Structure 1
């Protein structure tokens, strides 16, 4: 094996700068996706059938098409329709957030429906408004049940963020590819970036387990 990591050593700081871009995309997309997923989940269990149909159709479209296609439509297609250019960062956040929201909506919906119906009936009997009931009673209990699934979705989002390299975002993958082109050696920078992603996933996994243990102690 003809591996020589010394040739990419000067470029390591350049590659590591892409970590900030990756983390920013993942963090903003996760918040956007969770918020959207919660709204879609509430639409799916709402008594207004039109809201349920809309949420189901939305989920079907975003779960039924490739993420990279959604990303490229937003980045290349929207400017054609609107006449305004969109940055790679914004395109990535929109694509990942909209896609993640579709998946999270199913997880959150299942979590809400898993909460004992007696909780809802008791809240309604006490005259608690629907909004307060969901925010203060149902959703907190649902989140405890679906935390592992949400962390898994967050981990998946972190790995899938590497797709932004196709639209030129200067993330970890893109910078590793550039360094590989400059040194005519792709294996070393890609292996280095792979190790960074692995460490990120391990940290997220440990964080998720720590949060889960803390929530169980609070019961």
Structure 2
């Protein structure tokens, strides 16, 4: 067996650290943004609904690679905003995941029977209290499978950040390949590294789904 299968691992481990950092921070921010935007998409206020809808449609209608390049290069050229690569990557993941999470939130809330809102009113709760104590907990439970899938998608999307030289898994593997002029072993191990991350994530997600009986 070629030593390159083993020699590339330290490079990829360094990449995994950055991949996980960008994914966890970006998706966490994206969840907050998505929750706010998803509820905005349900608002009866036309301005709030309009802003939320424009954001979701722009992000969902453009490739994440274009979004990455726009955030890193475009903002610098247009507004003189110079972001470091890691910050730009986190913003890209947050904005992209946020748009998709917004639709997950919207669908989750809409899936709750309208009778639940009436029950909240009969208990003397305000609309916001009804959402917080009755609707949201039930909706969040139903969102878990889709949120887990979005996490995995965002994790894999970090591979695109190699275009701005972010040292995530793919970039580190490419650097090793270009240095050693070997390609099969590094790219094979890159795939293995992604599977090492994603398979446990999927198993944990399934376990949570079974526990919550989703």
TM-score (norm 2): 0.94
| Ranges in structure 2 where 5+ consecutive residues have no aligned partner | none
- Alignment correspondent of 1:204: 201
- Cα gap change, 1:5 to 1:128, in 2 (>3 Å): farther
**Cα RMSD (Å):** 1.5
Q: 1:137 aligns with which of 110, 117, 134?
A: 134
Separation of aligned partners in 2, 1:179 and 1:31: 31
- Cα gap change, 1:13 to 1:75, in 2 (>3 Å): same
Q: 1:176 aligns with which of 170, 173, 178?
A: 173
Q: How does 1:87-126 map to 2 (within 5 A)?
A: 87-126=84-123
Separation of aligned partners in 2, 1:79 and 1:5: 44
Separation of aligned partners in 1, 2:94 and 2:150: 12
Separation of aligned partners in 2, 1:183 and 1:159: 25
Q: 2:45 aligns with which of 44, 48, 61?
A: 48
Aligned length: 214
Separation of aligned partners in 2, 1:88 and 1:26: 14
Q: Bigger CA drift: 56-65 or 122-131?
A: 122-131
Q: 1:57 aligns with which of 54, 57, 60?
A: 54
CA deviation string 1:2-49 (max 9, x = no partner): xx6313533421221111000000001111111111101111111212
Separation of aligned partners in 1, 2:10 and 2:113: 52
1:8–1:183: 8 Å Cα contact kept in structure 2?
Answer: no
TM-score (norm 1): 0.92
SS in 1 for 2:158: helix
Separation of aligned partners in 2, 1:209 and 1:84: 42
Q: 2:184 aligns with which of 172, 187, 212?
A: 187
SS in 2 for 1:170: coil
Separation of aligned partners in 2, 1:31 and 1:162: 18
Separation of aligned partners in 2, 1:163 and 1:108: 26
